[in-house]
Structures are given as C-alpha cells and as structure tokens.
C-alpha cells in the first residue's frame, strides 16, 4: 500500500507529470502574546498549525477543490501555493520548479506570470481609487507584456469581453459595479498575464446564488478555452460539485480524503466527509444511512492527539486517539482513517 507522500515523490514522465505538486506542506503561525506579557503573566508560547503535512497533485487542465469547515486551513494552502506565505515545512512544485525558491530568484517574475490568484472578496481586492482599466492593466504593464497605451486598452477590452463585460466599462470605478461584476473584474485581472494556474479562494462565497452560477459558468468556459488549471477553495459542496474534477476534504489543517468528484459524492469513505455530505438536504434518497453532525471542531491551538477527528467520530477506537492516520490509497480513493484501513466501515 503506497502513501500519498510516496506517490508524490515518485519519478514520472515529463509528458504525464502533474502541473502542480504540493509535498508535505505545513504552515505554523506564532499567535503568542508579546514577549513581555508572556514573561510577566507566565503564559506559554502558542503555535497554530494552520496546515500540517498536506500533499496533493493537480493535473494540467484539471480542477482540484478543497472543502472543509471555516478555519480548516484551505485559504492558507491557497496562499502557500502562490507564494504569499512561505511554508514552515515541505515544498510546492509548479511545472517542475520549486515555487518559493524560484520566486526568490531572477526567474521569479516569469513564474508569477504563470500563477495568479482570485480572492474571496472583490470589495477588498480591487483598489477603489483606480479605474477598471488601471486595475486590469497594472499586471500587464508590470510584467512588460505591453508598452503601447493603445495596445494596452485593446488588451483590457478583450479581457473584459472574455468575462462578459463591455470594454466601455474600463473607464468606471469598482463602486459602480455589482458584486458579481466586481468578481468578473477580478477574474479579468487574474487572466491579464495569461496564466496557466489559477488559485481561486472562495470566489463566489460573497455572491447571490444566481450570480454565483454566472461566475462559475464563466470560469468553466475560460478553463475550456484557455486550458487553465484551478485550485478551487470553497465550503459550498454544491459549488464544488459543479466545478471540480477532484475533491480534497480538509479537517484541522490536514487532508482526510481525496477522490474523484463523482466517487466522493456517491461513496464517501472518511466519516468526516460523510458527515459533511449528510448535512446537505437531498431530494432523492441515496440508500445510505445518514449520520448527524456531532460535536464541535476542537481548538486548533490544542488539537487532540492521534486522529484530529476522533472526538467527533462514531467509529473511533483506542488507536484513533493515539495514532495519527496517514493519507493512503484504498481502491482509488485517498483516505486518512484507521476505520477504513481496518475495514470497519
């Protein structure tokens, strides 16, 4: 039986190699009180393990969705992949290059053209003092892709058309658009450098349901037309079902299950994945017994020993509370669960 770390580390043919490889990445934040406060009040140092040993691959032209409850580490993974955070452990490879060492080298600018991010809140990620032309045109100018102002305006107009907006909108400011239109502007800005890989951090969570569908359809059309690869972060399983090829489920900074979309929604293996899916109202019965949501997410500053999910798991035993399960392949699905390994579920 091969673990995910062994699979990620195995040599592969260049033609079949995944575009993105995350290998045992971790990120720890020091959330302690200031030094003097800790000395005077005798407080311990507090470390938050936001991401703890996450590994996955994304094939070119595919979408991996990461799901989980708020605070599970999804957005931290997104920021690690685009270089906004440096990992405390592990590394991220893009097209065979180590992302963080390359970003720090003279080749970093060229790599940043190929990796872009769409943020969750278009209200916060767009400069309110800039016109749409300036917002979308900035990365084009910064990377030296276009120097002529006339050509730049044409490029911005093409990008606006690609996301369903009019080139005439380039003279407007962000406050003159609806939430859905602002997110389209964010997508156009991300596409400005013609990237290969987009990290999408809950890009539709702040939008109405009808607007969500429009934005998601635009993103799928762009992926088909441009051959884009996505990492899609979401807590909305309906959205994930619409956009993803593979789904990774996170809990307290760790991946607990990774599977092809249809397989995961039809036959989830990890108890936490089952709990998430069972919380969704269904029009048609699947025949599988539904498990009610139990307990609360533990404090991430003091996570339980062993499997982090064992205090809420109906299948937990003594091994679960003592030994941390590894993410391993079982019948084509990657699961970190002792109960699955022991065939108790």
**DSSP codes of every residue in 172-231:** S-GGGS-HHHHHHHHHHHHHTT--SEEEEESTTTTS-HHHHHHHHHHHHHHHHHHT-EEE
- Of the candidates 101, 93, 59, 84, the residue with the CA atom closest to the CA atom of residue 231: 59
| Phi, then psi, of 226 in degrees rounded to 5 | -110, 0
CB 257 within 8 A of CB 54: no
Average pLDDT, the chain: 90
Residue 19: pLDDT band (50, 70, 90) is very high
- Rounded to whole angstroms, how far apart are CA atoms 219 and 5? 31
Over residues 234-257, mean pLDDT: 94
What is the domain partition of the chain in residue ranges?
A: 4-244, 271-345
Taking the C-alpha atoms of residue 263 and residue 241, their distance in angstroms, rounded to an integer, is 11
4-244 topology per CATH: Rossmann fold (3.40.50)
The residue-averaged pLDDT of 253-262 equals: 96
**Closest alpha carbon to 20 in 77, 56, 58, 66:** 58
> What's the confidence (pLDDT) of residue 293?
64
* Spatial CA neighbour of 65 closest among 249, 261, 232: 232
pLDDT greater than 70 at residue 16: no
């Amino acid at each position: 039986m091969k673990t995910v770390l062994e699979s990620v580390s195995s040599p592969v043919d260049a033609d079949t190699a995944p575009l993105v490889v995350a290998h045992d990445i971790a990120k720890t934040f020091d959330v302690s009180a200031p030094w003097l406060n800790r000395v005077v009040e005798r407080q311990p140092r507090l470390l938050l393990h936001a991401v703890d040993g996450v590994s996955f691959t994304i094939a070119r032209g595919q979408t991996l969705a990461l799901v989980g409850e708020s605070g599970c580490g999804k957005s931290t993974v997104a920021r690690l992949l685009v270089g906004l955070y440096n990992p405390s452990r592990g590394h991220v490879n893009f097209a065979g290059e180590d992302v963080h060492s390359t970003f720090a080298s003279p080749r970093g600018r060229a790599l940043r053209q190929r990796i872009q991010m769409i943020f969750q809140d278009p209200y916060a990620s767009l400069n309110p003092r800039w016109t749409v032309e300036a917002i979308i045109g900035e990365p084009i100018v910064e990377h030296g892709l276009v120097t002529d102002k006339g050509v730049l305006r044409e490029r911005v107009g093409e990008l606006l058309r690609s996301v369903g907006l009019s080139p005439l909108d380039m003279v407007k400011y962000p406050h003159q658009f609806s939430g859905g239109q602002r997110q389209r502007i964010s997508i156009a800005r991300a596409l400005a450098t013609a990237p290969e890989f987009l990290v999408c951090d809950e890009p539709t969570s702040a939008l109405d349901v009808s607007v969500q569908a429009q934005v998601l359809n635009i993103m799928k059309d762009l992926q088909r037309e441009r051959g884009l690869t996505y990492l899609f972060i979401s807590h909305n399983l309906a959205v994930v079902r619409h956009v993803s090829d593979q789904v990774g489920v996170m809990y307290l900074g760790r991946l607990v299950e990774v599977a092809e979309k249809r397989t995961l929604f039809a036959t989830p293996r990890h108890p936490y994945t089952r709990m998430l899916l069972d919380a969704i109202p269904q029009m048609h019965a699947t025949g599988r017994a539904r498990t009610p949501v139990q307990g609360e997410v533990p404090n991430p500053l003091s996570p339980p020993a062993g499997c982090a999910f064992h205090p809420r798991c109906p299948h937990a035993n003594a091994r679960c509370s003592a030994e941390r399960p590894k993410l391993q392949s079982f019948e084509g699905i990657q699961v970190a669960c002792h109960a699955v390994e022991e065939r108790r579920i």
